[in-house]
Structure 1
């Protein structure tokens, strides 16, 4: 099994980051390689930018540990084994590290998954900043 890992330190409280990550049905809002996503706390469907779909079961959604795990169980890609894990860890009151790990087979899918996940994790800070600015503008309206 090929193992991938990306991480980012964000200048955002862990609770704010976790609210985004735990909203499993809306992953496409912050994950650039996805064009849409739907689902609930047990299952989600994502549509990738090329139109391919992935069906995923939510394995763990732990608000105490701020951990999300999901498994690809179907869709258009030839995934034979997959487990994604996202951990949101507070470093202090205003800083968080997000660690996104993936185990995947076959190995030839790993480079595409790695690039997409790395881009998504790197972009989380900007996504959260845009959300904070929108909320502030709404509050002042």
Structure 2
């Protein structure tokens, strides 16, 4: 199984970053507007995220922990259909009121890791721009 881990420092308060990440329904659009064009609940714990390139990911909420600022989810199908996926996003306090954001995907088949890593990099750059004051 391939594992992709990305980290980024965001010049924003951890509570503000967590407010976006913890919003399971609209978080993807709030995190990367334009890259993610739609996100909606399909079931109480399943969202459908649509990306600008037409990719659609059906994602199941696994855990949402406000105390540790950690969200875990799994891509379970649609046009993005790994045989296995486990993902987590976590926000940590960093120096001077900034945030360290860690995003991990464990995915099969292994070949998906390259495209997934590229999409994560792209989304993180947008997230950083969206969250940081101008």
> TM > 0.5 between the two?
yes
Moved over 6 A (4+): none
Q: 1:18 to 1:5 in 2, by over 3 A?
A: same
Q: 1:41 to 1:88 in 2, by over 3 A?
A: farther
Shift of 1:91: 1.7
* Higher helix residue share: 1
Normalising by the residue count of structure 1, what TM-score does the alignment of the two structures yield? 0.83
Tell me if the contact between 2:10 and 2:131 (Cα under 8 Å) persists in the aligned partners. Answer: no
- How many matched pairs? 131
Task: Measure, in 2, the Cα distance between the counterparts of 1:111 and 1:19.
Answer: 29
Tell me if the contact between 1:24 and 1:41 (Cα under 8 Å) persists in the aligned partners. Answer: no
Task: Measure, in 2, the Cα distance between the counterparts of 1:71 and 1:92.
Answer: 31
Task: Measure, in 1, the Cα distance between the counterparts of 2:35 and 2:124.
Answer: 12
Query: What stretches of structure 1 of length at least 5 have no aligned partner?
Result: 134-141
Matching of residue 95 in structure 1 with residue 98 in structure 2:
yes
Q: Which residue of 1 aligns with 2:40?
A: 38
Tell me if the contact between 1:87 and 1:99 (Cα under 8 Å) persists in the aligned partners. Answer: yes
Normalising by the residue count of structure 2, what TM-score does the alignment of the two structures yield? 0.87
Query: What stretches of structure 2 of length at least 5 have no aligned partner?
Result: none
Secondary structure of 1:69's counterpart equals strand
Q: Which residue of 1 aligns with 2:75?
A: 72
